[in-house]
């Protein structure tokens, strides 16, 4: 059986493709108030503003390509059972060839009908792909309700978290790439890794990490992933990477 790797990614993995992160200087949340454009309350107050925000994300995504980090993550599939668990709403992991991708916070290229406050009642069969098209107020789903972005807004539950926890808890290695680990429950996912499971985090920023299991590779996603690939080529036995007791 192949060793399994859970790869937890955030906006930093797509930064070198030209998509901005959220919380770095000049990031999206410097220019937009997340409570206005990405929360359930914001949607209830002003759905047009929210639709326009995600229309903008969709059209940016159309013009960018996966980078070497996305491709390196996909290449690990040749030898390992790789599950990508991403907070990103872009489709760059899929476009780089990753076959198992869980989007914890939804997907910007998909929409679904609105089901009223908190939207707990949607089913996967109602979600559909709109690619890079724009969505306007008044655009309706087949059931007659307004289309909304297939995004987990702030204030909503994260339906895929249970599946993600299961994957991380069984993984032989956990790789974290480009996330500030500030948004829960995604930020605490790595804690479900086994005590002897090696955990690497690739991020150029200084991070305050209290978990002794984590090895911080302080680099951009592309060069950091290159290091991981080289390391795995030399040493396939994951127990070598197990955290010191
Ligand atoms: P953040 O913007 O919070 O964090 C981005 C991380 O990427 C930071 O730690 C940066 O240091 C790092 N970074 C920047 N450039 C990088 C590079 N070239 N290579 C590697 N890392 C780099 O983004 P997330 O942690 O993904 O949710 O944000 C989590 C969630 O907050 C998002 O999914 C989104 C946002 O609000 C929703 O909208 C629901």
Ligand 1 centroid–CA 145 distance in Å is 32
Ligand 1 centroid–CA 10 distance in Å is 5
pTM value is 0.95
What average pLDDT score do residues 209-228 get? 93
* Closest C-alpha among 62, 48, 55 to residue 18: 62
Closest residue (by CA) to atom 33 of ligand 1? 87
- What's the rounded Cα separation, in Å, for the pair 13 and 86? 10
Residue 134 has pLDDT above 80, yes or no: yes
Which sequence positions are flagged as catalytic?
Answer: 105
**SS3 state at 146:** strand
Tokens of 87: 């907070």
- What is the reported pLDDT for 124? 87
pLDDT in tens, 2-60: 999 999 999 999 999 999 999 999 999 999 999 999 999 999 999 999 999 999 999 99
Yes or no: say if 45 and 52 are a contact pair by the CB < 8 Å rule: no
Test site for ligand 1: of 7, 9, 18, 24, most ligand atoms within 8 A of the Cβ: 24
- What is the reported pLDDT for 143? 84
Ligand 1 centroid–CA 15 distance in Å is 9
Ligand 1 centroid–CA 125 distance in Å is 30
- What is the reported pLDDT for 213? 85
What average pLDDT score do residues 194-201 get? 94
- What's the rounded Cα separation, in Å, for the pair 105 and 187? 12
What average pLDDT score do residues 110-125 get? 80
- What's the rounded Cα separation, in Å, for the pair 171 and 213? 14
**SS3 state at 1:** coil
- What is the reported pLDDT for 97? 98
How are strands ordered across the β-sheet holding 214-217?
A: 101-103, 81-86, 4-9, 173-177, 199-202, 214-217
Closest residue (by CA) to atom 9 of ligand 1? 180
Q: Kindly report whether the peptide bond that precedes residue 98 is cis, defined as omega within 30 degrees of 0.
A: no
How are strands ordered across the β-sheet holding 106-113?
A: 128-129, 106-113, 147-151
More confident residue, 121 or 70: 70
- What is the reported pLDDT for 148? 96
The pLDDT-based confidence of 242 (bands split at 50, 70, 90) is low
- Residue 203 CA: which ligand 1 atom is closest? 21
pLDDT mean across residues, the chain: 93
**Angle made by CA atoms 188, 78, 66, in degrees to the nearest 5:** 65
- What's the rounded Cα separation, in Å, for the pair 30 and 225? 28
What average pLDDT score do residues 181-190 get? 96
Per cent of the chain over pLDDT 70 is 94
Pocket of ligand 1 (CB under 6 A): 10-12, 15-16, 21-24, 27, 34, 38, 87, 105, 152, 154, 178-180, 182-183, 202-205, 220-221
Per cent of the chain over pLDDT 90 is 86
């Amino acid at each position: 059986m192949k060793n399994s790797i859970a790869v937890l990614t955030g906006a930093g993995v797509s930064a070198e493709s030209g998509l901005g992160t959220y919380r770095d200087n000049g990031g999206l949340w410097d220019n937009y108030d997340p409570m206005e454009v990405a929360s359930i309350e914001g949607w209830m107050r002003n759905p047009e503003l929210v639709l326009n925000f995600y229309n903008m994300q969709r059209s940016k995504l159309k013009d960018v390509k996966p980078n070497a980090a996305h491709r390196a993550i996909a290449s690990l599939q040749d030898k390992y059972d790789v599950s990508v668990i991403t907070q990103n709403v872009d489709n760059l992991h899929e476009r780089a060839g990753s076959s198992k991708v869980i989007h914890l916070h939804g997907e910007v290229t998909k929409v679904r009908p609105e089901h009223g406050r908190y939207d707990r009642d949607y089913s996967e069969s109602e979600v559909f792909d709109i690619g890079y098209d724009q969505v306007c107020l008044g655009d309706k789903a087949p059931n007659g309700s307004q289309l909304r972005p297939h995004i987990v807004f702030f204030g909503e539950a994260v339906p895929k978290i249970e599946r993600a926890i299961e994957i991380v808890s069984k993984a032989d290695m956990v790789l974290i790439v480009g996330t500030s680990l500030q948004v829960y429950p995604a930020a605490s996912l790595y804690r479900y890794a086994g005590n002897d499971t090696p955990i690497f985090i690739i991020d150029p920023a200084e991070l305050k990490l209290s978990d002794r299991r984590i090895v911080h590779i302080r680099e951009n996603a592309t060069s950091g992933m290159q290091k991981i690939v080289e390391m795995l080529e030399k040493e396939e036995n994951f127990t070598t990477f197990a955290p010191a007791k």
